[in-house]
Every structure is written in C-alpha cells, then in structure tokens.
A and B are shown apart, each in its own frame.
Chain A
Amino acid sequence: MKKLILNFLLIFFILSTGFAQESPKEKKKDKPVNFPWDSELLIDNQTTLSPPAKTLECIIQHRFGLVNQKGISDLYGIYAPGTNIRIGINYTLVKNLTIGYGLTKKNMYNDFQAKWVILEQTNSDHIPVAVALFGDFAIDGRSNTAFGTNYKFNNRYSYFSQLIVSRKFSDWLSLEFTGSFTHYNMVASTNNHDNIGVGMNGQIKFSPQSSIIFQYDIPLKIQGISEQSDFTANNAAKANFAFGYQVETSGHSFQIYFTTADGILPQDIYMNNYNDWTKGDFMLGFTITRLWNF
C-alpha cells in the first residue's frame, strides 16, 4: 500500500513538472487557472472547483444494482432492487465556500456538507496546485431498532473530512489526490469506528464539453488504528473504483459511470463498501447537477 501511495505521489510530481500551463513568453496577470474541473463533483468525490458566489446547485446522484449479480434477468442491475439515490442542494455563500444538504435513500441519511477551496492553482504556477477542505456530517435516519438495544440518538452520527489537492496539468488533463478521515459513532462489533483513506481522481477532456472521468478511493488498512485484532480480514472496506463519461453545459453537468460502491456519501463509501471491483462488482450510476446564479 505504501508503494502504491509513493507511486501516486511520484507520478503527480513528474506530471507537475512536465506540463506547464503557460509558456514564459505569455506574460499575464497571475490568475487562477480557468476551469480546472468541469463540475464540483467527480462521480463520488468533490473537486477543488467552487461555483461563483451566490450560486445554487441541485444534485441528483443515482446507483443501479450490480451488473454481475443476475445478468440479463435484471438487465445487468437496471431492474435490481436496493438501488440508491441522493438528492441534494448546495449554495456558495461567498467565493470558494460552499455549503450543502442532501437526502440519501440508503440508511435514510440526512447530510450536511461544507467545502472550502483554500488555494487556487494559478496560471503562472506561483501556486502550482489547488487545495480544498471538505467536510460531511450525516445522520442515519432509520428506525431506532437498527441501532441495537442501547439506543442513543448520537449513534446515528457519522463524519467525513477530506483534504483535496489537485492540479490542472493541461487543457485536457486534471488530477487530484485526496486524504480523508471517516468516523462513525456506531459500527458493527467486527468493524472500526475510524478509517483513513486516500484517493486519486481525474478528468481527461476530449472536447470542449466532454470528458472521461475516473476515481479510485482506497480505505487504508492500518492495523495501528484498528480496534480489531485481525483487521486485514474481510471486515475491512474495499476500494471504490469508477470510470465514466461527463458532459457539461453552462448550467448542467451530466455524468454516467460504472462504479463499485453502492453508497453515495463519502463516509459510507470509505467505511461500508464491500463490493470488490477486481471481481467485477460494478454498477451503473449517474449524476446530474444544475446551477442557478443569483
């Protein structure tokens, strides 16, 4: 795992130095790079893009069932029961600070989000990367009986915090690396309350409005912070890999993809994904966003 992370960082460094946004001859006033990402969301992950201040965004995220469970009989998951959906709204209060609220079918989550873009990558490379912080607090809305006998309301709480570092390497390539911490107030006795994760996401544009997108979220198996004696067993959440196609207009972004985790909230993905993409556990999903400026 360490090797994997080191390789990621090495590739990121090499690409950072290999692609320049501007040639030295094109002297310009130093400004943030244009459109580092096409959307604030990249499949399940946040990007370092923040809409202009006073922008309202409506988001619909959907997952069908696994393609490899019943094959053609449920049309590769399209007709499968237990699909997941989230509807949410975000509002950009001031430049680079967005708050949001959403409802998710799985576990009847209510979630409250905030994203702060701390640094924006600049044309001159004076600031070579963009940096953002993202936080998500969710309340599991299921019946009390889902939480065992010693019920307390705060058993429903879960938290997710993430540091996102991204770079637009060229007009066609943007990559980001994430580090995250997830905490659930209540988990099954075989699981951990905390998880540290890393991820790598990207966007490859092939036309002014279209791009290929991908993500790879890895919940790390760190025995040192585990409450379990054998954390490397099957009780550890698995990586979430997804790839798809994105098209955007001035007010919309549409993403259609194959993804691994049935969760939509990041804490659910990092903590509760037991689907294994290496065994073909993929499901079709899509995301639609709509922006309104005030």
Chain B
Amino acid sequence: MNKVNVNKLIRFFTLVLFIGTLTAFMIPQNQKKGAKWVIPEKYKKMENPYKGNKRDLKLGRMLYSKYCKSCHGSKGLGDGSKALQLKTLPGNFSTAEFQAYTDGEMYYMTAVGRDEMKGYSKKIPDEENIWAIISYLRTLKK
C-alpha cells in the first residue's frame, strides 16, 4: 500500500469518527426535558396506603422491572434500552427533584400519565400494584 492510499484511509476514518461523535451527541440533544406536570389537586394529597409494606416493595420491584425498566433504566436513571427512542427525557428518579414529588403526584404520573409516559391504569388495574411501584421508586433515591 503506498503512502497516498494510507493518507486517504486515515482521512476517511477521521471523517467517520467525526460524524459518529457528532451524531452521538446530537441524539440526546434532540430529546426535550418534559414540561412541568399538571396534576389535579386530589392526586397531590393522596398518600401511599401501603407504605412500609415489605411484600409490596418486592412486588414493586418486580412491576418496575416489567413495566418501567425498559425506558427508565434498572436504577431509574433514565437510561433504559428504549430511552433514546423517546422524544422526551425519561427523567432521573434518583434526584432530589423527582423524590420531592408527593406519593399522589407519582401515582398520577404512573396511572394516568401523559404523552409518551402513557398511563398504566389499564395494564395495571389494581391500585395496590401502582402503589407498590411508588414504594419502589422511593428506594431509588440517592
């Protein structure tokens, strides 16, 4: 292989690397942070009636793994396998900002939902199961 061809090859791979790096940074930038949740007053005041129930916590872990993990990630960091396909950032459950939501507000987000965060009340018709997920979300706090 002569010197000219080697230079061409290096230039080509540099270009591929440049475009690849650019694309990698562009994908997350296309995702928007979700707008502020508008949650009805009656939900804000709701309390988790199963708080502290160990069995429900275990159930919540199982349900989270089944219904939430693919977008929100195994530790709730918003890095699930489907996260990059979403238009909206899935959020980070470990942050103080998220954990500041009341139980009722989390219930509304999970059961009723909005846009890409579809409500799970049809797939999870039992209220206790939704609360079990909320209990588990509390454990993701850093």
> Which residues of A come within 8 Å of B, CB atoms?
22, 26, 31, 34-35, 52, 54, 171, 207-209, 248-250, 291, 293-294
Contacts and interface: CB of A to CB of B under 8 A. Distances in A.
A249 to B, nearest CB: 6
Chain B interface residue number, banded:
10 to 19
A293 B65 CA distance: 19
Interface SS of A by simple majority: loop
Contacts of A250: 66-67, 70, 120, 123
B126 interface: yes
B123 A208 contact: no
B70 A249 contact: yes
Contacts of A208: 61-62, 64-66
A209 B120 CA distance: 18
Contact of A31 (B55, B61, B64, B126): B126
B48 interface: no
B70 A34 contact: no
A293 B70 contact: no
B61 A34 contact: no
B130 interface: no
28 contacts: A26-B53, A26-B55, A31-B126, A31-B128, A34-B126, A34-B129, A35-B62, A52-B125, A54-B122, A171-B62, A207-B65, A208-B61, A208-B62, A208-B64, A208-B65, A248-B66, A249-B66, A249-B67, A249-B70, A250-B66, A250-B67, A250-B70, A250-B120, A250-B123, A291-B123, A293-B122, A293-B123, A294-B122
Which of B59, B64, B65, B126 lies at the interface centre, i.e. has the most chain A CB atoms within 10 A of its CB? B65
B116 to A, nearest CB: 14
Nearest to A251: B123
Contacts of B122: 52, 54, 293-294
Nearest to B61: A208
Interface SS of B by simple majority: helix
Which of A34, A35, A171, A291 lies at the interface centre, i.e. has the most chain B CB atoms within 10 A of its CB? A34
B58 interface: yes
A267 B66 CA distance: 33
Contacts of B55: 22, 26
Contacts of B64: 208
A176 B105 CA distance: 40
Nearest to A51: B123
- Give the 3 A-B residue pairs with the shortest CB-CB distance, closest first: A208-B65, A208-B62, A293-B122
Given A34-B59, A34-B129, A249-B70, A52 B65 contact: no
Contact of B66 (A26, A209, A293): A209
A31 B126 CA distance: 9
Given A26-B55, A208-B62, A293-B123, 8 more contacts: A34-B129, A171-B62, A208-B64, A208-B65, A209-B65, A248-B66, A249-B67, A250-B67
B85 to A, nearest CB: 14
A112 B58 CA distance: 38
A32 to B, nearest CB: 9
Nearest to B50: A28
Interface string B122-140: 1101101100000000000
B58 A171 contact: yes
Interface in B48-95: 53, 55, 58-59, 61-62, 64-67, 70
Nearest to A52: B125
Contact of B123 (A31, A34, A52, A171): A52
Contacts of A22: 55
